[in-house]
Amino acid sequence: MGTIIYFYFFMLGTILYCIIVVFNLALHLIRWLKQRHYKGPKSWPLLGCLLEQAAHFDDMHDWLLNYFKDLLTYSVPMVNFNNTFTVDPANVEWILKTNFNNYPKGELIKERFEDVMGHGIFIVDGEQWKHQRKVATVEFSSSKLRDFSVHAYRSEALKLVQILAIAAKNHEIVDLQDLFMRLTLDSICKIGFGVEIGCLSPSLPEVPFAKAFDECNRLVIRRYIDIFWKIKRALNIGTEAQLRKNIQVMDSFLYKVIETRRADEDAAKAFHQSEVRNDILSRFMAKDLACDGEVYDDKKLRDVCINFIVAGRDTTAVTLSWFFSELCKHPEVVNNILAEVSEVFHKEQESVQNGKQNKTNCNGISFQGLGDQILEFAQRLNYQNLAKLHYLHAALTEALRLYPAVPLETKAAVNDDVFPDGTVIKGGNFVSFSPYAMGRLECLWGTDALEFKPERWLKDGVFQPESPFKLTAFQAGPRMCLGKDSAYLQMKMTTVLLLQFFNFELVKGQSLNYSMMVILSIAGGMKAHITQKMI
């Protein structure tokens, strides 16, 4: 009797399984038949667009751009979900602002990045995001943090000047992207966490954290096309084993930063000092700052740190790298920047007389080998003067248009929805917009869309911004980047100092292609010859 019952349930289960399989096959077949004449990526039953997407993984952004030339919105079905891609500014505004609550990061995105990003501001939603955003907003609007940032950016830029002066003297080729990464990592650790890590020491020491973090960026993005990544993670094999190893290196650095800051606090208390720190981490460590009824423990602080490093290191560094690649190709832009700098700072020169007391020291740091003129000029680079450089602002914005630091953004739809252009979105699926493609489409920027032209941002010499839903490099709406002004400040400070005292020439034969990562990094770096100008 028991055998008969077992056989009955076995057969029933088999029949139900077959029905489910046939039903899914039918759904995929219907979807495939509907899309046979679709102009978007080729979709196959069961696999969707996985094969074509995997084949174009290393040139993903240009693959998407090619389809955007015919369609501003299209679908890319995958094995178990659909991703709708768009470059229509109206749709982008709908996602980022109008219907913001329907398009959070979502669990599917969170599970792919949580190992690296934790519960930081970039991947969390709801109350966690609101709390971190509120604290960060207060800090970024602080004049004390801005003034602290100016001093930090100046000091780190002068360290870079030192390194370039040595390289120029020795006729050495430098990797500008590596140097910019070092510059911004030193800067964010000083401004964000109140610690010095010495990436821009003259010896250019190896930075295990930076190497591990770059590998994490490269590996984690592959989870979008690797359907077996969860199995690999569970078994700790392949790319997931590499990812885990790099996360351990990264975490060792981050927890050391937190330990150092806690030790500073304890030392201050031991001497009955109420130390006032201007860095962002100090604010999150404050006892009166609680999230969900709990103070920030080391794990939460670790997540805060890694998210601010993403915001303050990678994005600014890759933008500077692409920007200088364009400057090397357009000497007329360099001349225009220097002419503007000369005009602005000539007007200020008579009112600045504090250079003499900083001949060998600037902000408490010794800069051996740098002439008085460099130090005196650096002291004039303040927030007010840099804000007057409209052409430089336009040139940097033009670089951001063509080379957005985060070239692709993805959200998850909570409920069914309809885009302004009529595209139907099913709840639970992904929606994505491509800042990279949006910056290169003639329908948005004209027939000269692929040209590097800072003048397109100027009217009568004054910078004219575009809609943030058209230039989406800093996102828009409630999640608009809080560090936008800070990023421009550092990029201007660095660019002015470097162009004022050095000439740059790209090493011939470089491809300067992007590497498929979360950010638009230059694959293999950017090599350049440096010569120091006569002063």
- Indicate whether 499 belongs to any domain: yes
Q: What is the pLDDT of residues 143-163, one digit of tens each?
A: 888 888 899 999 999 999 999
Report the C-alpha gap between 445 and 487 in whole angstroms: 24
CA 517 to chain centre: 10
Residue 105 and residue 125 in contact, taking contact as beta carbons nearer than 8 Å: yes
Residue type, 269: K
**Greater model confidence, 292 or 516:** 516
Report the C-alpha gap between 233 and 396 in whole angstroms: 40
Give me the mean pLDDT over the 365-374 stretch. 63
391 exposure class (CB count in 10 Å sphere: 0-12, 13-18, 19+): buried
Report the C-alpha gap between 510 and 324 in whole angstroms: 14
Q: CB count, 10 Å around CB of 419?
A: 19
Give me the mean pLDDT over the 269-277 stretch. 62
- Indicate whether 358 belongs to any domain: yes
Q: What angle do CA 41, 47, 48 make, to 5 degrees?
A: 30
Classify residue 522 by its DSSP letter: B
Flag whether pLDDT at 368 surpasses 60: no
Report the C-alpha gap between 73 and 77 in whole angstroms: 13
Strand partners, 85: 74, 432
Pick from 429, 427, 509, 512: which is nearest to 177 by CA? 512
183 exposure class (CB count in 10 Å sphere: 0-12, 13-18, 19+): buried
Q: What angle do CA 119, 124, 125 make, to 5 degrees?
A: 150
pLDDT reported for residue 461: 93
What secondary structure, in 3-state letters, does 325-367 show?
A: HHHHHCHHHHHHHHHHHHHHHHHHHHHCCCCHHHCCEECCEEC
Residues with Cβ < 8 Å from 334, sequence gap 6 or more? 327, 499
Give me the percent of the chain exceeding a pLDDT of 90.
54
Residue 435 and residue 472 in contact, taking contact as beta carbons nearer than 8 Å: yes
Pick from 320, 314, 105, 321: which is nearest to 216 by CA? 314
The CATH code of the domain that includes 213 is: 1.10.630.10
Give the CB-side neighbour count of residue 408, counting CA atoms within 13 A.
20
Classify residue 57 by its DSSP letter: G
- Indicate whether 42 belongs to any domain: no
Please identify which residue in the block is written with the tokens 């960026």. Answer: 217
Report the C-alpha gap between 280 and 278 in whole angstroms: 7
Strand bridging mode 173-175 / 73-77: unpaired
Residue 173 and residue 527 in contact, taking contact as beta carbons nearer than 8 Å: yes
Alpha carbon of 65 to those of 44, 250, 418, 432, 441: distances in Å? Answer: 21, 34, 23, 13, 8
Residue 452 and residue 398 in contact, taking contact as beta carbons nearer than 8 Å: yes
- Tokens coding 113: 């990045």
Residue 320 and residue 494 in contact, taking contact as beta carbons nearer than 8 Å: yes
- Indicate whether 51 belongs to any domain: no
The SS3 call for residue 439 is coil
Tally of structural domains, the chain = 1
Report the C-alpha gap between 500 and 478 in whole angstroms: 38
Tell me what percent of the chain is helix, strand and coil, each rounded to the nearest 5. 60, 10, 30
Report residue 126's pLDDT band, with 50, 70 and 90 as the boundaries: confident
pLDDT reported for residue 357: 42
Flag whether pLDDT at 360 surpasses 60: no
pLDDT reported for residue 12: 62
Range of 54-63, 72-81, 381-390 with top mean pLDDT:
381-390
176 exposure class (CB count in 10 Å sphere: 0-12, 13-18, 19+): buried
Strand partners, 74: 85
DSSP state string for 373-400 = HHHHHHHT--HHHHTT-HHHHHHHHHHH
Flag whether pLDDT at 353 surpasses 90: no
**Greater model confidence, 357 or 248:** 248
Report residue 361's pLDDT band, with 50, 70 and 90 as the boundaries: very low
- Tokens coding 209: 């954290």
Report the C-alpha gap between 328 and 394 in whole angstroms: 17
Report the C-alpha gap between 77 and 429 in whole angstroms: 10
Report residue 419's pLDDT band, with 50, 70 and 90 as the boundaries: very high
**Greater model confidence, 23 or 443:** 443
Please identify which residue in the block is written with the tokens 């055998």. Answer: 3
Q: How many residues does the chain have?
A: 535
Give me the mean pLDDT over the 428-448 stretch. 96
Give me the mean pLDDT over the 99-121 stretch. 90
Q: What is the pLDDT of residues 25-69, one digit of tens each?
A: 555 555 544 544 446 787 767 667 777 878 888 899 999 999 999
pLDDT reported for residue 1: 54
Give me the mean pLDDT over the 194-206 stretch. 87
Flag whether pLDDT at 331 surpasses 80: yes
Global pTM value: 0.86
Lowest mean pLDDT among 71-80, 81-90, 135-144, 217-226: 135-144
Alpha carbon of 239 to those of 107, 221, 307: distances in Å? Answer: 22, 11, 22
DSSP state string for 184-223 = HHHHHHHHHHS----TTSTT----HHHHHHHHHHHHHGGG
Q: What is the pLDDT of residues 442-490, one digit of tens each?
A: 999 999 999 999 999 999 999 999 999 999 999 999 999 888 999 999 9
The SS3 call for residue 293 is coil
Task: Please give the residue range of the domain that contains residue 190.
Answer: 81-532
CA 334 to chain centre: 25
Q: What angle do CA 121, 127, 130 make, to 5 degrees?
A: 55
What integer best gives the mean pLDDT of the chain? Answer: 85
- Indicate whether 18 belongs to any domain: no
Flag whether pLDDT at 525 surpasses 80: yes
Give me the mean pLDDT over the 77-88 stretch. 85
- Tokens coding 288: 């009166």
Report residue 274's pLDDT band, with 50, 70 and 90 as the boundaries: low
- Tokens coding 213: 């973090």
- Indicate whether 436 belongs to any domain: yes
The SS3 call for residue 182 is helix
- Indicate whether 40 belongs to any domain: no
Residue 142 and residue 148 in contact, taking contact as beta carbons nearer than 8 Å: no
Please identify which residue in the block is written with the tokens 């990544």. Answer: 229
- Indicate whether 482 belongs to any domain: yes
Report residue 288's pLDDT band, with 50, 70 and 90 as the boundaries: low
